Chains A and B, each alone.
Chain A
Amino acid sequence: MAAEGKTIDALSQFELTPVLGIVGHSVGFTQSNALMLLAVGLITGLMMYGMAQRSLVPGRFQALAESAYEFVQGLVTEQIGDEGKRFFPFVFSLFMFILFGNLLGMFPYAFTFTSHIAVTFGLAAVVFVLITVVALAIHGTKFFGYFFPEGAPIWLAPIIVPVEIVSYLSRPVSLSIRLFANMVAGHVMLKVFATFIVLLGGLGAVGPFVATLPLALNIALVGFELLVAFLQAYVFAILTCIYLHDAVHLH
């Protein structure tokens, strides 16, 4: 599809196509969801198969599973404190789900489900609902004091309160758009430069030589995208931790 009709078509890669034939079509099960299932399967496989040996000196997969566990655990306890242990499974699932989604999207013919704003906003909405529910459950109505910091002059309330409310409500938006925009931008660039390779390659004798330029760029971009894949999963997880910290401690 890259150079269909000699045009640059960088967006059709994000179209959802149902899988599993008529069943997938009728329940709306698309390749995005298939990749989600694959990611869940891989994560579960890593954590279960990796830890199956329960060895004292971990092998490769066990070391990977344990470092993932300890990485996220460090993140959670560092940001939230000891109360954060309750949220550790959630943050771990979130981090691994996004990380595997981003990384799986780097494979040829794969689909990046984190490149859909509906998906990233869905995850961010889960986070938003969680932090709000946690804050209300722990602090009750005192939670609303969060929108007006103590010690601020009362006449500033008409300004501060709306600003705080807007900033609180914009959390899921910024959280979801950050991940979505990063993944889309990366994959669009990959697709655009891949199309350049094909288009330039067809330009007679010099074409193949000129085409190595976007090829080299694409190779560098793949490496960069791998970094972004990890980084965005990390950012999503750490922001979730910070929001959870706010919810537990109210500043």
Chain B
Amino acid sequence: MKPRVLIAVAAAGLALLPALALAAAQTHGGPPPVEGMPQLAFGHPEQGRYLVANVVWLLIIFGVLYLTMAQVALPRVESVLAERRARIEGDLEQAQASKQRADAALAEHQAATAKARAEAQAAIAGATQQAQAEAAQKAEALNARLNAQIGEAERRIAASRDQAMSALRSVASDAAEAMVSRLTGGADRAVVEQAVTAELAARGRA
């Protein structure tokens, strides 16, 4: 700032000369011209008065400004700023509460899902078990029936075979008697039967 102040002083010095010249030229009535810096012209009959009045008015006007700012304007700004702060904080709190509610709902939902899944799995397991039991029961019943049928059939087969085997002896005796009578011309039925029985027994088919 120093160079600028120097320039100002130099300019003030330059301006002093025409002011002096003007003062010399001015002879008519009215206040004399200002010499030097008007800010320091306290000795000037008119400027000096204005300079003092300037300070008085300054104090009055600045006092008015201070009172207006302190009493009216600044509290208003403060209230607006406080309102905004409160609003922002309230909104933040609200958002936090909403988030907590959402989290709670999510947890609840997850719990419900897990529960439903467990229930479904239990139901599936139960149904599977029941189905398996039923199937096993059915299979058992079927097996029993089939076994019964098989036993029946085996019994019938055995009976048929026995019948067939008993028939075999008489048929074999008849055939042997017929052969013997053709060869010898007579046969003793009892002897033939005895021989057939012995032969069958020897072969293990009696």
Contacts and interface: CB of A to CB of B under 8 A. Distances in A.
Contacts of A168: none
B interface: dominant SS: helix
B81 A27 contact: no
A186 B11 CA distance: 11
Contacts of A47: 69, 73-74, 76-77
Contact of B84 (A28, A56, A97): A56
A204 B47 CA distance: 39
A33 B58 contact: yes
B38 A89 contact: no
Interface stretch (B13-21, B122-130, B167-175): B13-21
A30 B53 contact: yes
Contact of B53 (A27, A56, A66): A27
A178 to B, nearest CB: 8
A186 B4 CA distance: 8
Interface in A178-226: 178, 180-182, 184-186, 188-189, 191-192
A93 interface: yes
A7 B22 CA distance: 11
A181 B73 contact: no
B1 A181 contact: yes
B190 interface: no
Contact of A9 (B7, B15, B72): B15
Size category, A interface: 35 or more
Contacts of A180: 39
B68 A44 contact: yes
A48 B73 CA distance: 6
B60 to A, nearest CB: 9
A102 interface: no
A118 B8 contact: no
B40 A12 contact: no
A118 B18 contact: no
A54 interface: yes
A115 interface: yes
A28 B56 contact: yes
Interface in A33-73: 33, 36-37, 40, 43-44, 47-48, 51, 54, 56, 62, 65-66, 69-70
Contacts of A36: 57-58, 61-62
B65 to A, nearest CB: 5
A10 B66 contact: no
Interface string B1-40: 1001101100110110111011000000000001011111
Nearest to A46: B73
A234 interface: no
Interface of B: 1, 4-5, 7-8, 11-12, 14-15, 17-19, 21-22, 34, 36-40, 47, 49-59, 61-62, 64-66, 68-70, 72-74, 76-81, 83-84, 87
